[in-house]
Amino acid sequence: MLEMRSISPEEFVPWTRAEARAHGNRLDDDPEMLRPRFDLDRSIAVFDQGEIVGGAHSHSIEMSIPGTTIAIAGVANIAVQPTHTRQGLMTRMMHHQIHDLHERGEPLAALFASESIIYRRFGYGIGSLYERWTIDRQHTGYARRYESPGRIRFVDPADISNDLPEVFRRTTAGRPGVFQRPPHQWERDSQAPEHLQGGQGGLFYAAYEEGGRVDGYVTYRITSTNLCVNELMATTTEAMTALWRFCFDVDRTSSTEALKRPVDDPLPWMLADPRRLQRSIRDGVWVRVVDVAAALKLRRYMQPDKLVIEIKDDLCPWNEGRFELEGSPEGAECRASNSSPDLVLGISDLASAYMGAVSFSTFARAGLAEERTPNALLRADCMFAVQYPPWTPCNF
């Protein structure tokens, strides 16, 4: 007989062991890494004859949405060890969790999916996208000349907490889907063993400085003749062009790779030979609208308008039905309604449109949204439009 409940302090270490087995990770990984953001009350464990065989967790975290930043549930550590997979354990945990998050009054939940096939069935939708790039060195010329009067200097990993968090914050301002890297994570990165190891593959930090101010930084590693950009953040065109040029021109490298670029990154438009940049797209964060009325009310809207949206949500009866939304750049009101709908769509697709990852018109063409009144798709697209598409450069 399986039992599902939250864990006690003594069960924390066995809980992390079950997760390690599920992911195939080392059992001796330090469980204390998780402890600072671990909330026992928000943990879930499935026990089989007293032994933990699966678990999940969530914690409150801030995420940017169009126009503002709100507290949401960061869902993580979903794991079922291989002795117990495909018996519905994750399904039980996910159903339990979504009701728990609703009771806590959290309007949205977010997670990072190990596989993109898993979470749509629980009402999660793609909340942000990113691109992965590769380019050969000989094709990295810019289409025009860029002047960058500043200088690039290496940053000692011990000092990354000084200027880099502010550059991250300024670069991502106004963009939905962002989790700011918390101070303890910068601190942890500054002490990561990889900086201390010799040989290839070590992590380097370099910053662009102009007029005494740090306007950008890049984190990269070199393996064989490939330079891999982990993160490149720049608040000015000068900083951005200088940092990419720096990466492209490091001696003894023949290619540059970048792991997580926003889909609207300017670099492809700056290159003289843009076809040479190989781009592949991937899902970033997955978002679940836990409470439709509350979530729609919290967002800001590009164009003032009023729409009735009908939502289908098998898992959360409180989200099923019609909602009258009146929104503008200043704020919004949203309430349950009996009026006939302008648009009909499912809860996971609402999450993607809500974040600004995709338009309602695209969903309609995919057969995933239905336009019930003339021009409703265009009106919804204008209302939910975002200046910068969502991007999630840093996981929680």
Ligand X SMILES: CC(C)(COP(=O)(O)OP(=O)(O)OC[C@H]1O[C@@H](n2cnc3c(N)ncnc32)[C@H](O)[C@@H]1OP(=O)(O)O)[C@@H](O)C(=O)NCCC(=O)NCCS
Return the range that interacts with ligand X (CB under 6 A); candidates 75-83, 201-209, 227-235, 240-248.
Answer: 75-83
Catalytic-role residue among 122, 179, 217, 396: 396
Q: Does 114 bind ligand X (CB under 6 A)?
A: yes
* Size of interface with ligand X, in residues (CB under 6 A): 17
The nearest distance, CB 94 to ligand X, in angstroms, is 8
Return the range that interacts with ligand X (CB under 6 A); candidates 66-74, 84-92, 97-105, 137-145.
Answer: 84-92
Q: Does 232 bind ligand X (CB under 6 A)?
A: no
Catalytic-role residue among 119, 248, 301, 363: 119
Handedness of CA 165, 63, 300, 172 (dihedral sign): positive
Residue from 52, 63, 78, 155 that binds ligand X (CB under 6 A)? 78
Residues of the chain by 3-state class (helix, strand, coil), percent to 5: 30, 35, 35
Q: Does 251 bind ligand X (CB under 6 A)?
A: no
12 is catalytic: no
Q: Does 115 bind ligand X (CB under 6 A)?
A: yes
Q: How far apart are CA 206 and CA 114, in angstroms?
A: 30
Return the range that interacts with ligand X (CB under 6 A); candidates 83-91, 132-140, 152-160, 217-225.
Answer: 83-91
What is the footprint of ligand X within residues 377-396 (CB under 6 A)? none
Is residue 344 classed exposed, middle or buried when 0-12, 13-18 and 19+ CB atoms within 10 A define those classes? middle
Q: Does 22 bind ligand X (CB under 6 A)?
A: yes
Q: Does 329 bind ligand X (CB under 6 A)?
A: no
The nearest distance, CB 97 to ligand X, in angstroms, is 12
Specify whether the CB–CB gap between 221 and 228 falls below 8 A. Answer: yes
Q: Does 73 bind ligand X (CB under 6 A)?
A: no
323 is catalytic: no
Q: How far apart are CA 6 and CA 386, in angstroms?
A: 39
Nearer to ligand X, 21 or 299 (CB): 21
Residue from 28, 30, 50, 86 that binds ligand X (CB under 6 A)? 86
Residue from 7, 52, 65, 89 that binds ligand X (CB under 6 A)? 89
What is the footprint of ligand X within residues 266-285 (CB under 6 A)? none
Residues contacting residue 374 through CB under 8 Å, at least 6 positions apart = none
Residue from 6, 69, 87, 134 that binds ligand X (CB under 6 A)? 87
Nearer to ligand X, 44 or 290 (CB): 44
Kindly state the DSSP code that residue 261 receives in the 8-state scheme: E
Residues serving a catalytic function are 119, 396
Interacting residues with ligand X (CB under 6 A): 22-23, 78-80, 85-91, 113-115, 117-118
